[in-house]
A = this chain, B = another copy of it.
Amino acid sequence: MIKMVKAGGYANKLGWVNLTEKKIEYREIDENIAYKYIGGRGLGVKLVYDNGPGKDPFSPENILAILVGPLTGTLTPMSSRIVAVTRSPLTGTVTDSHAGGYIGPALKWAGFDGVVLSGKSDQPVYLIAKDGKITIEDASQIWGKDVFTMTSLLKQKHGEVAKVYGIGPAGENLCREANIMHDAGRASGRGGVGAVMGSKKVKALVVIGDEKAISKPANPDKFNEVRERVLKRIIESPVTSPGKGGLSVYGTSVLVNIVNELGAYPTRNAKDTQFEFAFYTSGENLRGTILRETPTCFGCPVHCKRHSEVSDGKYKHKSEGPEYETCWSLGAMIGVGHIEAVSYLNYLCNYYGLDTISVGCTLAMACEATERGLLKDGVRFGDVDGLADMIRKIALREGVGDILAEGTLRAAEKLGDKDLAMTVKSQGIPAYDPRGLRGFIIAYSTSNRGACHLRAYTTSSEILGIPYKTDPLAIEGKVDLVIMLQNLFSVTDSLNVCKFSTFAYKLEDYADLLSSVTGWDINPNELMKIGERIWNLERYYNQLCGFDRKDDKLPRRFYIEPAPSGPAKGWRVDEALFEKIIDEYYEKRGWTKDGKVPEAKLRELGII
A interface, CB within 8 angstroms of B:
274, 276-277, 280, 313-315, 337-338, 340-341, 380-384, 565
Contact = CB atoms under 8 A, between A and B. Distances in A.
Contact of A314 (B276, B314, B382, B384): B276
Contacts of A338: 276-277, 280, 337
A280 B277 CA distance: 11
Nearest to A316: B276
A341 B274 CA distance: 15
A313 B380 contact: no
A517 B543 CA distance: 94
Nearest to A272: B314
Contacts of A337: 337-338
Contacts of A274: 313
Contacts of A315: 276
A312 to B, nearest CB: 10
Contacts of A381: 383
17 contacts: A274-B313, A276-B313, A276-B314, A276-B315, A276-B338, A276-B340, A276-B341, A277-B338, A277-B341, A280-B280, A280-B338, A314-B565, A337-B338, A380-B380, A380-B383, A381-B383, A382-B383
3 A-B pairs with least C-beta separation: A382-B382, A276-B313, A276-B314
A109 to B, nearest CB: 44
Contacts of A341: 276-277
Given A314-B565, A382-B383, 5 more contacts: A274-B313, A276-B384, A280-B280, A337-B338, A380-B383
A281 to B, nearest CB: 11
Contacts of A382: 382-383
Contacts of A277: 338, 340-341
A358 B417 CA distance: 41
Contacts of A380: 380, 383
A313 B273 CA distance: 12
Nearest to A278: B313
A210 B475 CA distance: 66
Contacts of A383: 380-382
A140 B276 CA distance: 38
A381 B382 CA distance: 9
Contacts of A276: 313-315, 338, 340-341, 384
A515 to B, nearest CB: 51
A341 B314 CA distance: 22
A449 to B, nearest CB: 35
A310 to B, nearest CB: 9
Contacts of A384: 276
A305 to B, nearest CB: 25
Nearest to A382: B382
A315 B338 CA distance: 17
A414 B280 CA distance: 39
A288 B381 CA distance: 27
Contacts of A314: 276, 565
A314 B338 CA distance: 18
A340 B276 CA distance: 9
A276, A314, A340, A384: which has the most chain B beta carbons within 10 Å?
Answer: A276
Nearest to A344: B276
A10 B276 CA distance: 51
Contacts of A565: 314
A565 B312 CA distance: 12
A274, A280, A341: which has the most chain B beta carbons within 10 Å?
Answer: A280
Nearest to A337: B338
A591 B594 CA distance: 91
A274 B313 CA distance: 9
Nearest to A260: B313
A280 B382 CA distance: 15
A277 B289 CA distance: 12
A280 B337 CA distance: 11
Nearest to A380: B380
A369 to B, nearest CB: 16
A274 B314 CA distance: 10
A465 B274 CA distance: 46
A382 B315 CA distance: 17
Nearest to A339: B280
A565 B274 CA distance: 35
A357 to B, nearest CB: 24
A262 B314 CA distance: 16
A286 to B, nearest CB: 14
A317 to B, nearest CB: 12
A310 B274 CA distance: 15
Nearest to A381: B383
A313 to B, nearest CB: 5
A409 to B, nearest CB: 27
A274 B316 CA distance: 14
A581 to B, nearest CB: 32
Contacts of A340: 276-277
A291 to B, nearest CB: 15
A382 B341 CA distance: 13
A338 B277 CA distance: 8
A156 B381 CA distance: 44
